Structure 1
Amino acid sequence: MKRIYLYFISCAAAVIGLCTSCDAQLEQVNPNKATEDTFWQNEADFELALTSCYTPLKNALNGGYYGTRGVMMRIARADEVEFRNDINEVFQACYFTNTNGNSLSQGMFYQFYNALYRTNSIMQKLDEKGSEFSTDFVNRVKAECLFIRGFYLFQLAKEFKNVPLRLTASQSPSTFPLEKSTQAEVWAQAEQDLTTAASLLPVENNVIGKPTKGAAYAILGKLYVYEEEFDKAIDVLEPLTQAPYTYRLVEDFSWNFDDTHENNAESIFELLMEPVGGTDIWGDGENINSTQTNTRPKEYAAPEASGWYEANPTQQMMNIFLQEKDKDGNSDYRARSSVAWDYDGCMYYMQPFREIFKTEDRWSTYWILKYQNSSTATSEADPPMSVINERAVRYADVLLLLSESYLRSSGRQDLAKAVGYLNQIRERANLNPYSGAQTSEAIFSDLEHQRAIEFFVEGERFYDLRRWGLLEERMRTCNENRYNQLITGKVGDTNRYYYYPIPAKEISANPLCTPNEGW
């Protein structure tokens, strides 16, 4: 059972937040309110502070990486969905017209640093007071902090490339100006954090939602793939397929996106959503009226299901979904679990497709199903407070990253192993084993195909295409207008739209920070 105590989050966040503002503080102190000096007294205080480190990931409106708008900003730039234009910041990202003033990319930037400040604060306090606690407790707090910080640093440099690397929590204005570190330097720190975290974390954690050794290694392995260090990726990812780890692909693909099969054998790390707190769905998750839920299902449901219909699958994505039939002659089960469209037997919000979409002009539409409540409700709820956990790392990703690593490694290339891991994904989807040419090119083509289907709207497609050098090519065949705008961003050997820009606010406030290339 998921347990998040909003009051504790509010208290811990407030204490850590004391150090994040440069505004003048009133001299009078409320004796009943925790302060920086009174908070860090016992193990419970450190546990509360750790809990507060996860809320920036879930911030709904202002760029939490797994919050409603953060997910939109992660999927908007790929060829899998098309956003409509009523959320201006997301539409800008989708059509590659975003600027360094985009409030959502700016929010994402500062949510990362918000969380980094918190992990740094905890570790500094742990250094000060560590002698007061047991070695086991100190190691447990350190491991979780380093996991969170490494996870944030990986994502931060993945989104913004070269950024200031802040590893201390300081209130001195003199420490704020900081030059950017390169993406490689930021990722090197993430590697160090995750490696140390993995050495200290348990294989299994008896507290749901907390990181494990496997989660640290899975993220570290993914980082290595992004760096094209494929041998290192194999070394940390392959052990996750063996004892003492017990990860496996769950029988039903759709179990990964509902609220009934959370924290299952395929889930390596997920963000918890729970209907606690108040009714503010757009808050920061840290005031007493905030809810620990998100609005994802409502955002993408059709108006016929009381949804806001913000985005729909592209025709190009549908062509990918429908390219290969399964062993029984049906469309890929992952397609039918991810998208609703007019095929025989399709149900959408517990009604046959043509009954909920009553006019013929609606029969040619496509609708997102992942993370929706289509199989359990006749419409999306109002207020829209979804309790479906966000699966941040799945075992399916480990298998496909291993396939890619064996395929692309210069020293340990093994096409048979690459196909073997690929076939585990195909088997779960009820597809025939891979039967194409035994060449790197042919196997890679199926790898791209499987990743596109497997991780539809999970925030992987854009980054895959970017690191493979295929973004322009796939966008060209997807949407001419988006492609034409994308290529205006070309700068030398790169494209400025590959990364979100350092926010204008940061450039203005941090005199040592310069815009990234092209911005």
Structure 2
Amino acid sequence: MKTYIKIALSVLVISSLFTSCEDLLTQTNPNKATEDTFWKNEADFNLALTSCYTPLKNALNGGYYGTRGVMLRISRADEVDFRNDISDIYTTNRFTNSTSNSLTQGMFYQFYNALYRTNSIMQKLEEKGGQFSTEFQNAVKGECLFIRGFYLFQLAKEFKDAPLKLTASQSPATFPLAKSSQAEIWAQAKKDLETAASLLPISNVVGKPTQGAAFAALGKIYLYEENWQKAIDILLPLTKAPYTYKLVDFDWNFDDIHENNAESIFELLIEDVGGTDLWGNGENINSTQSNTRPKEYAAAEVGGWYEANPTQQMMNIFLKEKDKTGNFDYRARCSVAWDYDGCTYYQKPFRKVFAQDKWNTYWILKYQNWKTRSDEPSPPKSFINERAIRYAEVILQLAEANLNVNKLDEAIGYLNQIRQRANLNDYSGAKTKEGIFADLVHQRAIEFFVEGERFYDLRRWGLLKSTLETCDEVRYKNYMGGEKGSFNKFNYYPIPTKEIDNNPLCTPSEGW
């Protein structure tokens, strides 16, 4: 069961110390902590560290693993269709979004909000480090660098070129900053994660990053840069002692019963420690520390808001291969509900939940409460932890990296670990790079359905255009409207208009 860590609600107040450029005119509350009264002891630094995770989990304002952040990450691939209810998500799904999209703007500023916080902590640690033990200083610095490196990777993955802010300052003179290239941002992320790995322990308190998490994040950057051998060098040790990661029952990764299991390398705690405000900014004293993901995707028949459904193209991928006993892929049955013999949805047979005219519909199961509840009640608070890095991803990254250095047997071996977990037969296709790559694409599509990996995989493999073309004619036409030469502006989210207006050194994103 979930282990709850009760965090003082004052940590949400502490975050007011770490403001972004847009908050400079906010008046200081004399009852809140200030620079003069804070940063006195280890407890203060630990509270400040806790506040660094809030931007990742912010549910409605672009937190990368929050409800809307996940929607932004899955909306542009071929996995799901969104209905026209949340306009800023619908426009990204249809490739009609603009530089004023409030949610992509929110994601952009959540990254910088978190960067400001980590930079602030490290600056204060350097200033006051003599007051604390070397062990404590290393722990704080390691955690800060992991968070910063993790954020920087995602920032450049989403926006490509962007300002690289490595200091915390309240002086308006420091706010204008030109963009750095994606390569430069990732170079800093790699530097941060390498240092973090040298400082973090192999095992840590639940919810805190570990050495393995830093190496897993670092290896992923090398994979994105197509530095295949370096990715292998970084990721391979994670499969051996002293690390103890292993694949577990696939379904254990998306419920609140099996959290922090052996497959989880980095997990964000979503805990019932906040207030009652579901629609706040996640920072104020009354904000819930939950998300609304299950309610968003559940069918109306079980109290949900039915915001998105799996596409037929995704279902064709799920149904392509049956397992050793003739059943549909176990991961498919844990990820989607549809009308097959034995399917249950919120503890009832599929056909008991839906009228006959909906027997041909598909419904998301991942991160839903379909096994433990009969419906999604109000208020729509979910406390299922977000698994940000799973060991399965390390295994499939090793398969991809080995494939690209022509170690075909090793690549097949890693693929077979994933296939065996799903009760599939071992790979029996052509022993060629093309054949093995096709199965890698297939396995990643199923393994990481609605986990926010598919769009970025298709983009980096050069398969995005052809995949969208066979999925939805209108979406494809809109997407192609963003193409100019070899570049398509819709491959990245744009720097928000607000940043361009306020930062005279920052130029618009390419194509926007």
Matched with 2:194 is 195
Match of 1:307 among 304, 308, 330: 304
Q: Check whether the contact 1:295–1:384 (CA below 8 A) recurs between aligned residues.
A: yes
Task: Quote how far apart the aligned CAs of 1:20 are.
Answer: 7.0
Distance 1:417 1:138, change over 3 A: same
Structure 1 letter corresponding to 2:215: Y
Q: Deviations over 1:292-327 (max 9, x none)?
A: 110000000000010000000000000000000100
What SS is found at the alignment partner of 1:317? Answer: helix
* Aligned-partner Cα distance in 1 for 2:300–2:21: 44
Q: 2:300 & 2:382 partners in 1: Cα distance?
A: 17
2:415 to 409, 413, 422: 422
2:381 maps to: 385
Deviation at 1:9, TM superposition (A): 1.9
SS in 2 for 1:269: strand
Q: Is the 8 A contact 1:268 1:393 kept in 2?
A: yes
**1:6: Cα distance to partner?**
4.9
Contact 2:20–2:116 (Cα < 8 Å) also in 1: no
Q: How big is the shift at 1:18?
A: 8.9
User: Post-superposition shift, 1:163?
Assistant: 0.1
The residue correspondences of 1:67-466 to structure 2 (distance < 5 A) are 67-205=66-204, 207-250=205-248, 252-357=249-354, 359-409=355-405, 413-466=406-459
TM-score computed with the length of structure 2 as normaliser: 0.98
Flag the 1:313–1:18 CA change in 2: closer, same or farther, 3 A: closer
Residue type at the aligned position of 1:467? R
Q: Where does the alignment leave 5 or more consecutive residues of structure 1 unmatched?
A: none
C-alpha distance in 2 between matches for 1:41 and 1:510: 34
Shift of residue 390 of structure 1?
0.5
The one-letter code matched in structure 1 to 2:262 is: A
Alpha-carbon separation, structure 2, partners of 1:456 and 1:6: 35
Alignment partner, residue 5 of structure 2: 3
CA distance in 2, matches of 1:323, 1:162: 38
Asked whether the 8 Å contact 1:419–1:443 carries over to 2, the reply is yes
Return the alpha-carbon distance in structure 2 between the equivalents of residues 255 and 25 of structure 1. Answer: 46
Matches of 1:512 and 1:181, distance apart in 2: 11
The 8 Å contact of residues 6 and 288 in structure 1, kept in 2 or not, is answered as no
1:82 aligned counterpart, secondary structure? strand
Please say if residues 20 and 112 of structure 2, whose CA atoms lie closer than 8 Å, have aligned partners that are also in contact: no
Q: CA deviation at 1:280?
A: 1.1
Deviations 1:415-442 (A, max 9, x none): 0000000000000000000000110000
Q: Secondary structure at the match of 2:324?
A: coil
CA contact (8 A) 1:415 1:438 kept: yes
Contact 1:121 1:169 in 2 (8 A): yes
Q: In 1, are the aligned partners of 2:142 and 2:196 still within 8 Å (CA)?
A: yes
Q: Which amino acid aligns with 1:238?
A: L
1:16/1:49 contact within 8 Å kept: no
**Aligned with 1:275: secondary structure?**
coil
Check the 8 A contact 1:15/1:39 in 2, yes or no: no
| C-alpha RMSD of the superposition | 1.1
Count of matched residue pairs: 510
Q: Map 1:30-45 to 2 at 5 A.
A: 30=30, 32-45=31-44
Deviation at 1:491, TM superposition (A): 2.0
> Quick one: percent identity of the two aligned structures?
70
Name the SS for the 1:85 alignment partner.
coil
**Cα deviation 1:11-67 (Å, max 9, x = unaligned):** 3212333987321646xx72x431111101111100000000000011111100011
SS of alignment partner, residue 386 of structure 1: coil
Contact 2:20 2:113 in 1 (8 A): no
Q: Is the 8 A contact 2:15 2:283 kept in 1?
A: yes
**Cα separation, 2, equivalents of 1:24 and 1:8:** 19
Give the whole-Å Cα distance in 2 for the aligned partners of 1:493 and 1:286.
Answer: 41
Distance 1:24 1:323, change over 3 A: closer
Contact 1:268 1:394 in 2 (8 A): yes
**Pairs within 5 Å for 1:23-62:** 23=25, 25=27, 30=30, 32-62=31-61
- Shift, 1:283, TM fit: 1.7
Counterparts of 2:20 and 2:398 in 1: how far apart (Å)? 43
- TM-score normalised per structure 1: 0.97
Tell me, in whole angstroms, the C-alpha distance in 1 between the residues paired with 2:154 and 2:123: 23
Opposite residue 71 of structure 1, the aligned amino acid is: V
Match of 1:485 among 478, 484, 495: 478
**Alpha-carbon separation, structure 2, partners of 1:311 and 1:20:** 33
SS in 1 for 2:25: coil
Query: Where does the alignment leave 5 or more consecutive residues of structure 2 unmatched?
Result: none
The amino acid of 1:381's aligned partner reads: P
Partner of 1:504: 497
In the alignment, the residues of structure 2 paired with residue 162 and residue 377 of structure 1 have an alpha-carbon distance, to the nearest angstrom, of 44
Which amino acid in structure 2 is aligned with residue 21 of structure 1?
D
SS in 2 for 1:517: coil
Distance in 1 (CA, whole Å) between partners of 2:165 and 2:463 is 32
Q: Structure 1, residues 83-133: CA drift from partner, whole Å, max 9, x if none?
A: 000100000000100000000000000000000000000000011000111
Counterpart code for 2:136: F
Q: Deviations over 1:337-369 (max 9, x none)?
A: 000000000000000000010x21100000000
Q: CA deviation at 1:329?
A: 0.3
What CA distance in whole angstroms lies between the structure 2 residues aligned with 1:393 and 1:157? 18
How far, CA to CA, are the matches of 2:20 and 2:356 in structure 1? 58
**Counterpart Cα distance in 2 of 1:290 and 1:4:** 15
Cα distance in 2, alignment partners of residues 407 and 401 from structure 1: 10
